[in-house]
Amino acid sequence: MSDATHTSEEITLARLSSGVSISTTVHVYRGDAADDHPTLYVQAAQHGREINGTEVLRRFHDRLPLESLTGTVIAVPVANPITFDHVSYTAPAVLDSVNPNMNRVWPGDASGSLHERMAARLWTYIARADAVVDLHTGSPDMLPHVVFREGDERSRELAEAFGTDLLLSEAADEDASDEWHNRGFSGKLRVAAARNETPTITPEISHSRQILEGPVEEGVDGLLDLLRHLDMLPGTVPDRTQTLARNHLGRVTATESGLFRPAPSLAVGERVSEGVEIGTVYDPTTYEPLHEAVTSHEGLLYALSQEATVTAGDELAGVALIRET
């Protein structure tokens, strides 16, 4: 007879100037022998428009066979209520002008800016976890994939167990590029947790703002397989054929501002060679082509922007450098 339990509690993440509390709900699933088995922490929607992860956790709640669970699962479906309510990626400057992007501040600071305080409160759960999953979604027209720290074998095993067709390894800290540091990526939850010796993955389960049936189901199945991998649920993780590639190196960015028309012949999921035309940025008033964007590496085209209005520096496409299939 299992004595597994599900409890939930509302916690305060931070206070607004008015005194209003920002709170969210933390779900705790305690299985048998919880103290002798791992704790998995999973959160969604720290970027509040990325709501597929929230839907994944709702379905996970219904499908988790609690009577078969060993160990503990801690789930936070809305890690950032501020950006969730704004259906946004970052918080309005009036609320956090120092750190508008919550995923640049981990492990947070209990006496810092709004996002730093919110992260520090959630970090009290993350610091106790043996594995961490930070659910995100990417831009429109992007292959679902899982990101993990390059060279971190335990995180790679989590990524493989989660089960998307594409896995992306990302160099971090001293192995990373100047751009990686300049963009504040060392403050990502995944990076901070891995630095804390906790294996961590970031699934990017398709794109923002919409609940997409296929990717959401893939996310629920991924979490259940992850629990099997951690021996927290019975059963084995199926063998899969996955493509392992490297993140970021093959990004194509706009060199000019204007309207971007992606090349109509291209589709995400295609293998591309170096120098392939991915689209044109043009001046919307004069029609003059300003930037003929081409790939800088060969690899797998896993993202191609469909958002036409671009500013110089925006990412137009992602090409993953394939390491293994």
Q: CB-wise, 50 or 160, nearer to Zn ion?
A: 50
Instruction: Give the number of other CB atoms < 10 A from CB of residue 291.
Output: 20
In the complex, least distance from residue 249 CB atom to Zn ion, rounded to whole angstroms: 20
In the complex, least distance from residue 136 CB atom to Zn ion, rounded to whole angstroms: 3
Q: CB-wise, 47 or 229, nearer to Zn ion?
A: 47
Segment contacting Zn ion by CB under 5 A, of 48-56, 158-166, 182-190, 193-201: 48-56
What angle, 0 to 180 degrees and rounded to 10, lies between the N-to-C axes of helices 153-162 and 213-229? 130
Q: CB-wise, 47 or 115, nearer to Zn ion?
A: 47
In the complex, least distance from residue 131 CB atom to Zn ion, rounded to whole angstroms: 19
Question: Which amino acid would we find at residue 68?
Answer: S
In the complex, least distance from residue 53 CB atom to Zn ion, rounded to whole angstroms: 9
Number of residues that bind Zn ion (CB under 5 A): 3
Q: CB-wise, 51 or 64, nearer to Zn ion?
A: 51
Distances (CA, A) of 153 to 158, 197, 224, 233, 249: 9, 11, 20, 21, 20
Burial class (CB in 10 A: 0-12, 13-18, 19+), 11: middle
| Interaction of residue 47 with Zn ion, rule CB under 5 A | yes
Segment contacting Zn ion by CB under 5 A, of 24-32, 42-50, 57-65, 208-216: 42-50
| Interaction of residue 136 with Zn ion, rule CB under 5 A | yes
In the complex, least distance from residue 47 CB atom to Zn ion, rounded to whole angstroms: 4
Q: CB-wise, 27 or 136, nearer to Zn ion?
A: 136
| Interaction of residue 190 with Zn ion, rule CB under 5 A | no
Q: CB-wise, 101 or 169, nearer to Zn ion?
A: 101
Instruction: Give the number of other CB atoms < 10 A from CB of residue 296.
Output: 16
Residues found near Zn ion in the complex (CB under 5 A): 47, 50, 136
